[in-house]
Homo-oligomer: A and B are copies of this chain.
Amino acid sequence: VCSSDLGLGRMGVPMALNLVNAGHQVTVYNRSADKTVALTEAGASAVTRPADLGAGAEVVFTMISNDAALEDVTSGPDGVLATMAAGSILVDMSTVTPACSARVAEAATKCSVAYIRAPVSGSVVFAVAKTLTILASGPTQAYETCKPLFELMGGKIFHVGQDEQARYLKLTLNMMVGITAGMAAEALAFSERGGVEWDVLLEVVANSAVASPLIGYKRAPMAARDWTPAFPANQMAKDFDMALDTARDLCTPLPITALVRQYWSTMMATGRGNNDFFGCLELLEEQAGIKPKSS
């Protein structure tokens, strides 16, 4: 399969590299050309405009940072849809709102391009290890075509519907991931104030009924009080905003999400926006009068 990759940030590069390394013919584009070096060294071709990716590609992958950027590189004046062949497939793996995705879907349909939404769950480590979770929705036939490519990038792949379902699911997981941090923050601060030793506390929680994989990943950084971001609070703020904006459209109340969203604001307001989102623990400790521990 001849594919093209567009958007080569921290996630996009390892994902594209997995395709290149599997022997696929890959053409890449990124706004900052220096991001493509690792890929061209591995055998990919690089182009200088999104539109240059479209012609000849069977599948075009996009992995970009927000709604506006996705619309720009797909249906914008210089976007890739302009040059994609009828019958080819556009696969967007970004985290964007269902509303934005639906507009891209409409643009793709006009160009007779099949459109697969395939947001991923998991951080850079997972992208490198090919263990991302990929939530895909869109037409079954196009999904089946892409599946072997997805298998080069992810460990768990779900086909979850014919339309925007993958978008809603991605936001659902993000909400739960973020709320887990807020929940842990208050629950842990509570036991700290009660005199439980920090390591004992983490040990018990990590062996409990609420010990999700996420709690497992965060145990060591919490133990070390190391807030180097696997995912920074200011990014989590953006993900929460997508969920909350979508919930406005759906008239669906999200009381806990709305509450925890405020923590990301406070982290940003107090110089901690680039800390990992689990660093919201510090906020609840401060509000409980606990002296911050050194990291």
List A residues at the B interface (Cβ < 8 Å): 98, 121-122, 133, 135, 156, 158, 160-161, 163-165, 167-169, 171-173, 175-177, 179-180, 182-184, 186-191, 193-197, 200-201, 203-205, 207-215, 217, 237, 241, 243-244, 246-248, 250-263, 265-266, 268-271, 273, 283-284, 286-289
Contact = CB atoms under 8 A, between A and B. Distances in A.
Contacts of A133: 207-209
A244 B173 CA distance: 23
A118 to B, nearest CB: 13
A173 B205 contact: yes
Given A172-B190, A175-B183, A241-B248, 15 more contacts: A160-B204, A164-B195, A165-B194, A165-B196, A171-B190, A172-B196, A186-B253, A193-B251, A193-B252, A210-B213, A248-B265, A252-B265, A256-B260, A270-B286, A271-B289
A287 B269 contact: yes
Contacts of A255: 186, 255, 259, 262
A190 to B, nearest CB: 5
A217 to B, nearest CB: 7
Nearest to A98: B194
A251 B289 contact: yes
A86 to B, nearest CB: 27
A158 to B, nearest CB: 6
B183 A183 contact: yes
A180 B183 contact: yes
